[in-house]
Amino acid sequence: MKPRRTQKKTDQASQRRSPCPIACGLDLFGDKWTMLVIRDLALGKTSFKDFATGPEHIPTNILSDRLTRLLDHDMIGQAPVEGDGRRLAYHLTPKGAALRPVLLALRDWGLEWIEGTAAKRA
């Protein structure tokens, strides 16, 4: 498995449009779905079904793609669900959890500048 990861990371580096860290970050999580998956993980959701039934109604084919991308970039991990080894639970890795301040900044910006927005309270 390690050689495959190394190869993927090399492939990822060669596909960058520039070395700019903002561009590289946006290439990974700047689409309209990925940060919502990260948001849901940060809020405690763990299953494919949890993500698919969210208020934004992410299509399952896109959800599968985004979960694979996040796994490939070591931003999330997965493990068998306790008591049901056939199902998988997802979790943020330290790399993915490091985006929490970005999520909070986006939330705060939206609350201040986009009329009609509301944040769920935990």
Q: Could you read off the pLDDT of 39-91 as tens digits, one per residue?
A: 999 999 999 999 999 999 999 999 999 999 999 999 999 999 988 878 999 99
pTM of the model: 0.84
Tell whether 87 is covered by a domain. yes
Tell whether 79 is covered by a domain. yes
Q: Which helix (H) or strand (E) holds 84?
A: strand 84-92
Instruction: Find out whether 39 and 103 touch, Cβ atoms under 8 Å.
Output: yes
pLDDT score recorded for residue 16: 82
Q: How many domains does the chain have?
A: 1
- Residues 76 and 6: their CA atoms lie apart, in Å, by 17
Tell whether 118 is covered by a domain. no
- Residues 113 and 81: their CA atoms lie apart, in Å, by 40
* Domain extent at residue 80: 20-112
